[in-house]
Amino acid sequence: MARRFKIEPWFNSTELAAWMQESQTKQQYQHRLSIWLAGKQTFSSAQIADMLGVSAPAVWKWVGQYNRLGPQGLARQGRGGRRWGFLDMAQERQLLADLLAQASEGQVLTAKQLLPSIRTRVKREVSLDYVYRLLHRHQWRKIQPRPRHVKADPSAVGSFKKVSAKRSRRR
């Protein structure tokens, strides 16, 4: 036999039905309807989940939130956000501002070169992937100069471009 719900008495049965009818959105109505159905003591979590088109653990979660925190427990937002960030966004901006000062002096910065300074700032071991994600989060791009030969003559390169363009048009 399936376990039945025990609903905390935040509302009596008429107030619970009225609270359910006051829903503003489909999601809110779905959450409140699951509480109302669970309060009827005739449906299991699997039956309620089947009727609402959700999973049984979701129904148990909603009932748990309602029992612990009352009606406002269902209004809580999801878990989103950066839960595993080593630095907050302001600290990351400050770190990149310090690195930008190095780059403006003409130093070429690569992710591998940034890794030790980021590790000291974070005070823990971080991967190279963390550095790439950090740079991507702040819209830093991979910019590197085009390779040039040490003995390249800029005037010869320019004249070659002019000559080769003329020859390609003749064909």
Same domain, residue pair 61 and 31:
yes
Between 104 and 38, the more confident residue is: 38
Judge whether residue 22 has pLDDT over 80: yes
Share of the chain above pLDDT 70, in %: 91
- Domain membership flag for residue 148: no
Same domain, residue pair 60 and 105:
no
Same domain, residue pair 96 and 44:
no
Distance of CA 52 to the CA centre of its chain: 28
Q: What is the pLDDT of residues 93-139, one digit of tens each?
A: 999 898 888 777 777 778 888 899 899 999 999 999 999 999 999 98
CB burial of residue 37 (10 Å; 0-12, 13-18, 19+): buried
- Domain membership flag for residue 34: yes
- Domain membership flag for residue 124: yes
Q: How far apart are CA 166 and CA 171, in angstroms?
A: 9
Which domain range does residue 46 map to? 13-75
**Domain count of the fold of the chain:** 2
Q: How far apart are CA 86 and CA 6, in angstroms?
A: 40
- Domain membership flag for residue 167: no
User: What is the average per-residue pLDDT within 7-13?
Assistant: 87
Using alpha carbons, list the distances in angstroms from residue 24 to 30, 32, 78: 11, 11, 18
Whole-model pTM above 0.85?
no
Distance of CA 46 to the CA centre of its chain: 31
- Domain membership flag for residue 3: no
